[in-house]
Structure 1
Amino acid sequence: MLRHFACLLACLIIPGTAFAEDEETTIRLGGALAYLPEYAGSSESQLRILPYIGFDDLAGFELSGLALAYPLIDLGTGEGPGEWSLKAGPRAAFDFGRDSEDSPTLTGFEDIGASLLAGGFVRATYGPLGFRVDAGQDVIGGHDGFNADLSIGTFIPRGLLGERFALQPALTLSWADANHNQSIYGVTPLQAAASGLPAYDLDGGFHRASATLLGWYDLDERWQLNAIVSYREYLGDYRDSPILRAPDGATNDVLMILGISRSFTL
């Protein structure tokens, strides 16, 4: 369970966090039922119950899922045709690692520890379109890599599809450097000798594309149901990784989450 899941959980609980603007200080508490792959490139999935806490504009900070951000730049309105907005600033995000016991394919592989990605974000809107970049370098020795997610999408607000329902489709390209990609998809000679997989060396590049649909349904003024479905396809040389091509590997996967949250406005 790696970085993309943390980003999706952040978007799930906060409506339109990737592309819409929220002017109130709000704290959200809730939980989610998640169905997700055991690790990147696994055909096996697991069901998990996860807690959630997040907030908007608390002393200027935003906590979304496992990411803490501070918008140093906040320009424009982002409302209506021809309008625009821009937010940007530092961001820190926590990544889960990978346990070699998750699969016989990973026999002889070292566990990938948790990572803390120190970097920044840019979030912009123009009319109905939203653009987002989240990037960070691992600073605690998990995969030791640099990651960047580039997203484009739109936010369909309440009222267009129903008074209580909002929807956000998005497309994302994920780029990472050689340290990250070799850790996740590569096989070193030592790992090859222990696992029986062929050695596989990788450089940096775009390693995954995702199509995501997020939805929110207001049960009342405070309680909200949240749902997400994300289809993810691995790209290029990364989809030819021996880990993904193993009997329990996969070159694509689907992640689904159903959650509930309660908001508290300050």
Structure 2
Amino acid sequence: MTAKFLFGLAAAAAATILPTLAVAQNAPNASASAEALAQELDGDSITVGIGAGYLPDYEGSDDYRWTPVPGVIGSVSGINFQVLGNRASADLIPNTSGSSWDLQAGPLGVINFTRTNRASINDPRVRALGERDTAIELGGFVGIGKTGVITSPYDRLSVSVSYRHDVSKVHRSGIWQPTINYFTPLSTKSAVGLFGSVERVETRYLRTYYDISPAQSAVSGLPVYRNKGGWNSWTAGAIGTYSLTGNLLKGFKIVGGGTYRRLINDVADSPLVKVAGSRNQWLGVVGLAYTF
């Protein structure tokens, strides 16, 4: 399961707890409705869910598979947190009630399962390259968000940058990821979002997952290749959520979305991508969540 896919799912989960006050403008008592929902939003909230993800066998593969993706996202005493599949993060700067600006900073961690299970890879040439150990990547992020930007007083635009480093001595390198997110509520029952990111990886990451040694070339039939590192991809995606019971701040909801990821530079030229896979990576998820 790729970190990029779960980043998309994290964006989806975040959309389920966005302010959904725009519909209050059309209510008979607009100010009372807005105030009631605002007070509810300022309280503690936890969303749990399970989804089905459709993703490549490995980053760069042109073979796809379905996999379950569990998740939990919440806000307790102004601290926001997410645990989604193989990714966890927490914003340790409490949100200030009534403020339109939101400073963000906190830890994040990813369990990297890239090519850790040969049975999940369909291409026999890539299977012949062998498995990799599971990497534990730890780091942090900083960002800033603004509420009331484009479509209404309740939409939200945020930018952030994260860095994480392998602490398990598998690829022994780091990953930078600047990100931009935009979310807007359509009513008390629905919300949509757009997001984009770019990723820069250090040399040893690409050499761990995308290099092919002479010995590996002999057993796989793929040509010898050695990476240098650098910017390796950009991603764009969209997400939506619809409440089945209550509103987006309580009850059951459907969450769904997808991303397109383009591999670039050295990683795109690796035979694992150029010969055995594809630069174009499509990711999708549909799931059911409950907020209480």
TM-score over 0.5 for the pair = yes
Unmatched runs of 5 consecutive residues or more in structure 2: 21-40, 150-155
**How far apart are 1:212 and its partner, in Å?**
0.6
2:74 is the counterpart of 1:55: yes
Q: Aligned residue for 1:119?
A: 139
What is the letter of the counterpart of residue 9 of structure 1? L
2:281 is the counterpart of 1:253: yes
Secondary structure of the residue aligned to 1:155 is: strand
Q: Aligned residue for 1:170?
A: 195
Q: Distance in 2 between matches of 1:59 and 1:191?
A: 51
2:44 is the counterpart of 1:25: yes
Secondary structure of the residue aligned to 2:4 is: helix
Q: Deviations over 1:34-83 (max 9, x none)?
A: 1111111111101223333333337946133133334344576796xxx4
Q: Distance in 2 between matches of 1:5 and 1:78?
A: 32
**How far apart are 1:118 and its partner, in Å?**
0.9
What is the letter of the counterpart of residue 189 of structure 2? R
Which of the two has higher C-alpha Rg? 2
**How far apart are 1:129 and its partner, in Å?**
2.6
**How far apart are 1:121 and its partner, in Å?**
1.1
Q: Distance in 1 between matches of 2:179 and 2:17?
A: 12
**How far apart are 1:26 and its partner, in Å?**
2.2
Q: Answer whether contact 1:134 1:149 (CA < 8 A) is retained.
A: yes
Q: Aligned residue for 2:229?
A: 204
Which deviates further from its counterpart, 202-211 or 9-18? 9-18
**How far apart are 1:16 and its partner, in Å?**
6.7
Q: Distance in 2 between matches of 1:220 and 1:119?
A: 37
2:173 is the counterpart of 1:153: no
1:96/1:245 CA distance change after superposition, 3 Å: same
What is the letter of the counterpart of residue 114 of structure 2? G
Unmatched runs of 5 consecutive residues or more in structure 1: none
Q: Deviations over 1:127-157 (max 9, x none)?
A: 4431022221111234333112211131112
Q: Answer whether contact 1:78 1:84 (CA < 8 A) is retained.
A: no
**How far apart are 1:11 and its partner, in Å?**
2.3
Q: Distance in 1 between matches of 2:206 and 2:128?
A: 18
Q: Distance in 2 between matches of 1:241 and 1:173?
A: 19
Q: Aligned residue for 1:238?
A: 267
**How far apart are 1:224 and its partner, in Å?**
0.9
1:203/1:24 CA distance change after superposition, 3 Å: farther
* 1:7-46 equivalence runs, <5 A: 7-15=7-15, 23-46=42-65
2:198 is the counterpart of 1:191: no
Q: Answer whether contact 2:201 2:232 (CA < 8 A) is retained.
A: yes
Q: Distance in 2 between matches of 1:237 and 1:194?
A: 22
TM-score, normalised to structure 2's length?
0.78
Q: Answer whether contact 1:85 1:124 (CA < 8 A) is retained.
A: yes
Which deviates further from its counterpart, 226-235 or 28-37? 28-37
**Higher helix fraction (1 or 2):** 2
Q: Aligned residue for 2:245?
A: 220
What is the letter of the counterpart of residue 147 of structure 1? I
Q: Answer whether contact 2:111 2:137 (CA < 8 A) is retained.
A: yes
Q: Distance in 2 between matches of 1:56 and 1:97?
A: 30
Identical aligned pairs, as a percentage?
Answer: 25
TM-score, normalised to structure 1's length?
0.85
Count of aligned pairs: 256
Q: Distance in 1 between matches of 2:144 and 2:78?
A: 22
Which deviates further from its counterpart, 103-112 or 220-229? 103-112
Q: Answer whether contact 2:181 2:194 (CA < 8 A) is retained.
A: yes
Q: Deviations over 1:81-109 (max 9, x none)?
A: xx432111222222223134412121442
Q: Distance in 2 between matches of 1:41 and 1:72?
A: 34
